[in-house]
Amino acid sequence: MRKGLVIAATLLLVAYLLTGVTTVRPDERAVVRRFGKVVDVPRPGLYIGLPWGMDRVDRVPAGLVRRVPVGYPRDWLDDGQSSPPGQMLTGDHNLVNLQVEVHYTADQEAGPEAVVEYVLHADRTDALVARIAETVMAEWVAQRNVDDVLLLGKAQLPNWVVKQSQQRLASYALGVRIQSASVSYLLPPDAVKSAFDDVTKAQTNKETRLTQAVQEANRIRREAEMERVKLEQATAAEVKATVALAQTEADSFKRRVQQYQKLRQQNPDILAAIWWDEMSRVFYRMKERGRIDLLDNRLGADGLDITLFAPQTRPK
């Protein structure tokens, strides 16, 4: 009987001593507190310390991402008597309901001291992160009008929350690192939601019409450009043809001048012959067009004057 009690006491003592043996996994960080005071930050592996009641080993998953919802609760029941959390005032004195999820982890890059801080303040870290993030959110909303908040909030607010919250958390020595943030809810209050929907619809119609107007202007501009190019090409072709015709006539005139100079040596009256030849062609064309009558009416005391003719009515 006595021997059995000794064995049982021995086993209990061994079991008690084994409570001082802890295994720290590679993906964990641990902090050892002895009688409430931090005495060690063991590395991954087997750690042997004092048994339970003397040492306390807190292990923290190194990559664990904690999620903290901040602001407007999605399940809030509006009783019309009180303002819900996360209902914020914009710069143009409108209200919006806003909720942001903040994701943070232990700051492993800051060294063992940050792990110790993270473990020591783990019970109040969520509340402090939420409070600071909500302050940052309220500042961002207050600097903008309601249209900018609703249109740009989901794109711009998360980066602002991460940057500003991390800066302000530094003075609290919590050993946390803000990893990211996301806007999970951003709407005007239910009482004015329909009015904002109408405004959003009108804004969308405005943007659509503006886009259509720009497209139509671009189409007209392209057509005008094509017409300009077409006119320039047609003008260039006409100029080229006119220049070619003028060049041809000039060459023909030069050849006739050369022919005249050559024939004048043989016949001094060749110029008069050329002139009368041209006049006969003119008279023939005038007769075809009904602008010349019979020459009998032009006989006078000095003979036939065919240098001047009164205009004749063209036959219909």
Per the rule left: phi > 0, alpha: psi between -120 and 50, beta: everything else, 21 is beta
Per-residue model confidence (pLDDT) at position 260: 77
Per-residue model confidence (pLDDT) at position 77: 65
Calculate the alpha carbon distances from 279 to 31, 213, 274 in Å. Answer: 124, 65, 9
The domain covering 66-188 belongs, at the CATH homologous superfamily level, to Band 7 domain (3.30.479.30)
d(CA 264, CA 233): 46
Among 193, 8, 10, residue whose Cα is nearest residue 95 = 193
Residue 287 amino acid letter: K
- For residues 143 and 130, is the Cβ–Cβ distance under 8 A? no
d(CA 69, CA 55): 34
Pairing of strands 176-187, 95-106: antiparallel
Mean pLDDT by 10 residues, the chain (316 residues): 75 69 70 70 69 71 83 73 82 90 82 73 85 94 90 92 92 86 87 68 84 93 93 93 91 83 75 75 73 56 55 53
- For residues 93 and 137, is the Cβ–Cβ distance under 8 A? no
Exposure string for 32-58, b = 16+ CB within 10 A, e = fewer: bbeeeebebbbeeeebebeeeeebbbb
- For residues 132 and 176, is the Cβ–Cβ distance under 8 A? no
